């Protein structure tokens, strides 16, 4: 990937003498940013531009070229790429549009491009993009005109959209946040976000990586790369309008959804997701500072009103305000002109006008072991206090790094002074207390450390029993029926109460006697592929006590089967009633991009009403299954409220881990619901009473 950002020579293909030619704009940008390599111009009509000869073809260039950038009609791009291949150019940026985004004709041209690139070993970015920038060497390939207004820094951007990418560049410029590298990847026909992310996490000139994506090329690879990175990775993932492209076959599909799967995957590997430029700016301002190690803040303010606002935001964001030690406050009080302000946290410095004392207060605050971070709210008139304020703000940054704690500054001053601060200060400042404190919350909640690949906890898995069920389904070309789904889950290690499959009323009566050992009655359920949602078709009868009720409800199920035109003999599954369990749902789903994931949530008939669920990609470590449960709004019910005994959370967690092992071992299982699983009190376990397993019958299992 390095030659896309550090070429010694660049050929711009598609340049003409026409003043409106977009290829000329690329050349202009290279001059504007003082590119320190050699520039060659190529266009079929020849001529000159910017005092340089326009070669009529790539073959006419007399020297070796590291990188070609192509902006020509789509139909001629395969031929240009062939010239590049013959010339020995192995890195190309294709900015031309009119490919698959244009229709079938463009898709065919894309296939030609791929064939040529493969034949010559060419890696290319695009098509339908605006190219790359390396702000440290003056490489600037967009066909949109740019000014060299970007501070040199260590923020790198990968954007699927050229327009969104330019808007992020504008954000960096307006806030004087330092740009390192930029890549617009467009249709990402060859090089994708994973290729570039892998490069940037090893790039010494990049400290923070920001990505805008409308689709993710390879979710598993993205996760693997992110796990290796200790650099912050920020992602804006759009194109989330549809939860699923097909009607959901199960609750799991409806509850997980494509976008929830993305969020779960990003969170699991420490990628922060954002949805707007405002949040992006807050991330980019806070992340270069020392890391926030705890949740205790100190707020120092020249304005009492801003102090009150800051206290409100701290509470809203879940921060606690440190109680300052008495000796600390007494020392500060000595510098006040009048003892009219009660000193507390937030610390109102409204009666203090000594900038050297401000500096000492910030330093002494950072020294306090109980303080994790400092917010300094500074209000001033630039004509009176501008010079002293700028020195103070610079000193606060030095102290922040000296003591290894974030000290954020929020400034209220005139617009002209604020513009000067953005241009001249070596670090960003905030203009609103809310943004300063929310930025600290973003940093607190963002764990971007490198982490090892997870490993599922060991557990029993009866592969032979599962394979027997799957083989039967494959042989008949059908999905698993209810009793087969229960058999799979039992073999996976979940607790499934005994059941009996019957087809006559006499068999039902006999099975009920055997199963109802506690006198709680039995449940009867219609077994048929057409009765997947059994409650909706009258295929469930619960709490049946005694032979009369069993016989009556069996006949009712037979009637329901006839209305569904099910073949004889009708199959009915009987189970003992289970009392006292809290209804939860467990699920699993195999995503085309991210692979298998498991789901847990509040279950029962209202599962899609409350939609209280958590997701985790497989594999996951033991601690992650526990963390899933704690993310549920219903977790306090599991933990025990108002003196109630806690539910058996460990049993539920073990169930999640069992589903993870099942999905990892049998890739033809596409989706499953365990709804409900009844979670007893602590120590009583959790029992599966209903389940559905959906198979991808075209794919073999791997036992």
d(CA 304, CA 377): 10
Tell me the mean pLDDT in the region 67-91: 96
Given a cut of 50, is residue 700 above it in pLDDT? no
Task: Answer whether CATH 3.30.1490.20 is correct for domain 498-577.
Answer: yes
The per-residue pLDDT for range 17-26, each reduced to its tens digit, is 999 999 999 9
d(CA 531, CA 419): 67
Residue 475 · residue 319 · CB < 8 Å? no
d(CA 202, CA 350): 47
pLDDT band (50, 70, 90) for residue 248: very low
Task: Answer whether CATH 3.40.50.261 is correct for domain 149-287.
Answer: yes
Q: Which pLDDT value is given to residue 337?
A: 64
- DSSP H/E element including 55: strand 52-55
DSSP state for residue 88 in the 8-state scheme: T
Q: Which residues pair with 13 in a beta bridge?
A: 42, 70
d(CA 84, CA 477): 51
Q: What are phi and psi of 397, to 5 degrees?
A: -65, -45
Write the CA distances from 604 to 249, 255, 582, 627, integer angstroms: 17, 13, 9, 22
Q: What are phi and psi of 383, to 5 degrees?
A: -65, -25
Give the strands of the sheet with 522-527, arranged side by side.
500-502, 571-576, 522-527, 540-544
Q: If 0-12 CB within 10 Å is exposed, 13-18 middle and 19+ buried, where does residue 592 land?
A: exposed
Q: Is the pTM for the entire model greater than 0.85?
A: yes
d(CA 248, CA 137): 51
The per-residue pLDDT for range 83-123, each reduced to its tens digit, is 999 999 999 999 999 998 878 888 899 999 999 999 999 99
Q: Which pLDDT value is given to residue 684?
A: 94
d(CA 13, CA 9): 13
DSSP state for residue 249 in the 8-state scheme: S
CA 137 to chain CA centroid, Å, is 32
Q: Which pLDDT value is given to residue 340?
A: 46
Tell me the mean pLDDT in the region 77-85: 97
In 252-340, the DSSP E strands lie at: 272-273, 296-301, 320-321
Cβ–Cβ contacts within 10 Å for residue 234, how many? 24
Given a cut of 60, is residue 534 above it in pLDDT? yes
d(CA 528, CA 538): 13
Q: Which pLDDT value is given to residue 140?
A: 98
Task: Locate the domains of the chain by residue range.
Answer: 1-127, 149-287, 290-444, 454-497+579-703, 498-577
CA angle, corner 165, sides to 164 and 170, nearest 5? Answer: 95
Write the CA distances from 568 to 428, 530, 565, integer angstroms: 75, 14, 9
Given a cut of 60, is residue 242 above it in pLDDT? no
Is the omega angle on the peptide bond into residue 573 within 30 degrees of 0, that is, cis?
no
DSSP state for residue 290 in the 8-state scheme: P
Classify 1-127 by CATH class: alpha beta
Structure tokens at 196: 């570039």
d(CA 635, CA 612): 10
Q: Which residues pair with 41 in a beta bridge?
A: 12, 54
Q: Which CATH number fits domain 290-444: 1.10.287.810, 3.40.50.261, 3.30.70.260, 3.30.950.10?
A: 3.40.50.261
Residue 577 neighbours by CB under 8 Å, 6+ apart: 516, 520, 521, 522, 523, 542, 543
Residue 49 neighbours by CB under 8 Å, 6+ apart: 15, 16, 17, 21, 24, 27, 41
Which of 234-248, 280-294, 433-447, 590-604 is predicted with the least confidence, judged by mean pLDDT?
A: 234-248
- DSSP H/E element including 469: helix 463-476
Tell me the mean pLDDT in the region 450-479: 93
CA 67 to chain CA centroid, Å, is 33
Tell me the mean pLDDT in the region 206-233: 95
Beta-strand relationship, 613-617 and 595-602? antiparallel
The per-residue pLDDT for range 392-429, each reduced to its tens digit, is 999 999 999 999 999 999 999 999 999 999 888 878 89
Given a cut of 90, is residue 570 above it in pLDDT? no
Q: Which residues pair with 495 in a beta bridge?
A: 687
What is the length of the chain?
Answer: 703
- DSSP H/E element including 258: helix 251-268
Give the strands of the sheet with 233-237, arranged side by side.
139-140, 131-134, 179-184, 152-159, 208-213, 233-237, 272-273
Q: Which pLDDT value is given to residue 643?
A: 76
Q: Which long-range contacts link 330-336 to residues 24+ away (Cβ below 8 Å)?
A: 331/364, 332/361
d(CA 179, CA 207): 10
Angle formed by the axes of helices 355-367 and 326-333, nearest 10°: 180
d(CA 699, CA 167): 44
pLDDT band (50, 70, 90) for residue 699: very low
Is the omega angle on the peptide bond into residue 346 within 30 degrees of 0, that is, cis?
yes
pLDDT band (50, 70, 90) for residue 352: confident
Angle formed by the axes of helices 433-444 and 304-316, nearest 10°: 30
The per-residue pLDDT for range 266-297, each reduced to its tens digit, is 999 999 999 999 999 999 999 999 999 999 99
Mean pLDDT of the chain: 91
Given a cut of 70, is residue 703 above it in pLDDT? no
Tell me the mean pLDDT in the region 143-170: 95
Cβ–Cβ contacts within 10 Å for residue 244, how many? 13
Residue 66 · residue 8 · CB < 8 Å? yes
CATH architecture assignment, domain 454-497+579-703: 2-Layer Sandwich (3.30)
Which of 247-261, 411-425, 589-603 is predicted with the least confidence, judged by mean pLDDT?
A: 247-261
When mean pLDDT is compared over 209-213, 247-251, 556-560, the highest value belongs to 209-213
Q: Do domains 290-444 and 454-497+579-703 have the same CATH topology?
A: no
Tell me the mean pLDDT in the region 316-320: 96
% of the chain surpassing 90 pLDDT:
78
DSSP-derived 3-state class of residue 375:
strand
């Amino acid at each position: 990937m390095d030659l896309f950002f550090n070429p010694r020579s660049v050929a711009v293909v598609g340049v003409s003498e026409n003043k409106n030619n977009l290829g000329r704009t690329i050349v202009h940008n290279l001059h504007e940013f003082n590119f320190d390599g050699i520039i060659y111009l190529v266009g079929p009509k020849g001529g000159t531009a910017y005092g340089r000869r326009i070669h009529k073809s790539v073959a006419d260039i007399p020297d070796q070229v590291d990188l070609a950038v192509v902006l020509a009609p789509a139909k001629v791009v395969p031929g240009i790429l062939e010239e590049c291949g013959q010339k020995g150019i192995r890195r190309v940026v294709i900015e031309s549009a009119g490919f698959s985004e244009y229709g079938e004709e463009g898709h065919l041209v894309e296939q030609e491009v791929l064939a040529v690139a493969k034949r010559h070993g060419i890696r290319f970015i695009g098509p339908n993009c605006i190219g790359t920038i390396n702000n440290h060497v003056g490489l600037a390939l967009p066909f949109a005109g740019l000014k060299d207004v970007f501070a040199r820094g260590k923020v790198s951007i990968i954007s699927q959209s050229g327009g969104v990418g330019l808007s992020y560049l504008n954000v960096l410029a307006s806030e004087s946040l330092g740009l390192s590298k930029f890549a617009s990847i467009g249709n990402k026909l060859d090089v994708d976000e994973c290729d570039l992310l892998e490069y940037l996490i090893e790039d010494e000139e990049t400290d923070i990586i920001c990505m805008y994506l409308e689709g993710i090329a390879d979710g598993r690879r993205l996760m693997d790369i992110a796990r290796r990175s200790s650099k912050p990775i920020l992602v804006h993932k759009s194109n989330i309008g549809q939860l699923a492209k097909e009607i959901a076959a199960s609750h799991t599909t409806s509850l997980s959804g494509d976008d929830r799967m993305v969020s779960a995957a990003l969170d699991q590997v420490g990628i922060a997701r954002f949805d707007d430029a405002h949040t992006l700016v807050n991330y980019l301002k806070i992340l270069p500072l020392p890391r926030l190690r705890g949740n205790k803040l100190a707020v120092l303010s020249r304005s009492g009103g801003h102090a009150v606002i800051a206290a409100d935001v701290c509470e809203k964001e879940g921060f606690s305000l440190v109680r300052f030690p008495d000796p600390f406050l007494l020392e500060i009080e000595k510098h006040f002109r009048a003892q009219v302000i009660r000193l507390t946290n937030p610390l109102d410095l409204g009666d203090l006008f000594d900038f050297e004392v401000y500096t000492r207060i910030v330093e002494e605050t950072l020294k306090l072991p109980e303080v994790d971070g400092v917010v300094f709210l500074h209000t001033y008139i630039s004509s009176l206090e501008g010079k002293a304020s700028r020195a103070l703000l610079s000193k606060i940054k030095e102290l922040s790094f000296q003591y290894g704690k974030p000290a954020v500054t929020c400034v209220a001053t005139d617009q002209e002074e604020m513009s000067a601060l953005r241009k001249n200060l070596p670090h960003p400042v905030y203009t609103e207390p809310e943004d300063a404190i929310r930025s600290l919350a973003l940093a607190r909640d963002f764990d971007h450390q490198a982490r090892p690949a997870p490993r599922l906890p060991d557990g029993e898995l009866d592969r032979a029993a599962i394979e027997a069920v799957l083989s039967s389904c494959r042989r008949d070309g059908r999905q698993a029926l209810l009793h087969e789904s229960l058999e799979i889950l039992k073999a996976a290690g979940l607790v499934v109460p005994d059941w009996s499959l019957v087809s006559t009323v006499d068999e039902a009566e006999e099975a009920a006697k055997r199963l109802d050992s506690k006198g709680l009655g039995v449940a009867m359920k219609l077994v048929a592929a057409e009765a997947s949602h059994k409650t909706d078709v009258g295929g469930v009868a619960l709490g049946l006590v005694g032979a009369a009720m069993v016989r009556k409800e069996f006949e009712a199920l037979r009637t329901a089967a006839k209305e569904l035109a099910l073949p004889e003999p009708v199959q009915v599954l009987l189970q003992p009633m289970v009392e006292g369990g809290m209804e939860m749902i467990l699920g699993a789903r195999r995503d085309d991009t991210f692979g298998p994931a498991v789901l847990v949530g509040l279950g029962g008939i209202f599962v899609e009403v409350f939609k209280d669920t958590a997701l985790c990609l497989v594999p996951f470590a033991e601690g992650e299954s526990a963390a899933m449960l704690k993310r549920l709004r219903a977790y306090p019910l599991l933990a025990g409220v108002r003196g109630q005994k806690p539910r058996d959370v460990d049993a539920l967690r073990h169930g999640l881990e069992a589903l993870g092992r099942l999905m990892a071992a049998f890739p033809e299982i596409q989706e499953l619901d365990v709804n409900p699983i009844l979670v007893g009190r602590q120590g009583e376990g959790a029992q599966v009473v209903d389940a559905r397993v959906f198979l991808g019958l075209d794919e073999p299992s791997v036992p």
